Chain A
Amino acid sequence: MAKTINEKKLTGQSISVKNANLWYGDFQAIKNISVEIPEKKVSAFIGPSGCGKSTFLKCFNRMNDLIPDCRVTGEFKIGETNIYQKIDVNALRRNVGMVFQKPNPFPMSVYDNIAYGPRTFGIHKRSALDQIVETSLKQAAMWNELKDRLNGSALGLSGGQQQRLCIARALAVKPGIILMDEPTSALDPISTGKIEELCEELTKTTTIVIVTHNMQQATRISDKTGFFLLGELVEFGDTDEIFTNPKDVRTERYITGRFG
């Protein structure tokens, strides 16, 4: 019986959105957005604060469900599955991992942090967990740093390490997509560099969608860039194109710092 669930697990890696709208009460935060996010690429969303980019990101793993009075319309497809139909939200979130603005390791050991996800989905065998912890940490390029302190508290790590641990934690359930909500805004440049490096590395297996306030970051790591303004996706296209020759004058104004 357990097997059927694994088969049911969402596995898509591309995201396709058609006519998405989102309201917080009466306030429309997302206005009729359609976009195709390609698989195994880094897609970045940029835009001024409050433009809806984070909100849009949170639609992909339905984290907006946690917010009262939040209403979503339109079609969100991960692979072939429409995620706003009746689906198992937890299975969705297993496939669509998320890394947050501030590192949020759980107050437990490094090992338990990474094992949390797999345990949630019923993996309890020590050897299997050991394997997952090691693989995830290696994927996040932290194995050598942390292999001797797996039982130490995750809260004792530096901010940058904590954030990479959170990425490793997300990787532990083998997601097809990882959402990153300004993952480096609280970090120093070195840690930021490490995470950016990691993002590019991860695209071998994973789709990455990242929201960032740092345009240079988008230019550095993303293949696709989308510009949000007042709940609209003004422009979405190849990063090189957006940053050398944007089509929309609003994009141009924003990225060159002539805002308003």
Chain B
Amino acid sequence: MYERKQFDEELTELKTKLIEMCCLTADMITKAISALIRLDRNLGKSLAETDKKVDDYEMDIEKRCMRLLIRRQPVAKDFREISTALKMITDIERFGDQAADIGDLVATMPGDTYIKKLEHLSAMGTLAVRMVKDSVRSFTENDASLADEIIALDDEMDDMFLKVQQELILLIEQDGKKNGDQAITLMMVAKYLERIGDHAVNVCEWTKYNETGVHQKF
């Protein structure tokens, strides 16, 4: 029986790298959220550094994918896995970008206290971390049903975003002068978290392509 050891090893390595990159971004989001909640400006600022690491990961994985495409001329499942990885890292890299952006917002957050309790935002953060982690896990574990779950979760994310938006609009209407600056900043944080959800959905769509050979937009 013929086994292709080298190629399979390279594919496994590729996936390991993907998981590492994903964990890194998930970690960044967690940190961004905790910086947000504790209004830890230094922690927020430090995320820009980590984002560079994520970019390095992206470059590394991209190179690996291209090398595999050239050297192995993959077909069928191999081809789908590699092209999925290649597409996926763009979204994962965006995870890092968004987390760093949130960190940046925290660092420059107007005011010393929050104008409101951050219950929905922190829930959105938790959800984002879960979506990020599971979306990549669904790919590495070839789990299409997990991908479906994540895609469904995005609706929750969108709902929460709308709630945050309404709350902030209300606060601005109440006292635009006092709340305006922070409300807009928090609004941007919420938008970034919502975007993370969208990227996670993209990742899941590629997972599903990897499994079924059909790429479908949700």
Contacts and interface: CB of A to CB of B under 8 A. Distances in A.
Complex: A in contact with B (CB within 8 Å): yes
Contact of A245 (B2, B7, B73, B76): B76
A216 B70 CA distance: 12
A244 B80 contact: yes
A244 B213 CA distance: 7
Nearest to B213: A245
Given A244-B80, A245-B80, A258 B75 contact: no
B112 interface: no
Give the contact-size bracket for chain A: 10 to 19
B110 interface: no
B73 A216 contact: yes
A257 B73 contact: no
A259 B2 contact: yes
A244 B73 contact: no
Interface string B1-22: 1111001000000000000000
B76 A246 contact: yes
A244 B2 contact: no
Contact of B77 (A215, A256, A260): A256
Contacts of B1: 259-260
Interface string A151-181: 0000000000000000000000000000000
B77 A252 contact: yes
Interface string B92-122: 0000000000000000000000000000000
Contacts of A215: 75
Contacts of A252: 76-77
Contacts of A101: none
Contacts of B75: 215, 219, 243-244, 255-256
A244 B78 CA distance: 9
Interface in B48-80: 73-80
B2 A255 contact: no
Contacts of B76: 243-246, 251-252, 255-256
Contact of A256 (B78, B213, B214): B78
A219 B2 CA distance: 23
B37 to A, nearest CB: 45
Nearest to A260: B1
B110 to A, nearest CB: 51
Which residue of B3, B76, B79, B213 has the most chain A CB atoms within 10 A of its CB atom? B76
B4 A257 contact: yes
A219 B75 CA distance: 9
A257 B79 contact: no
Interface of A: 215-216, 219, 243-246, 251-252, 255-260
6 contacts: A243-B76, A244-B76, A244-B80, A252-B76, A256-B76, A258-B4
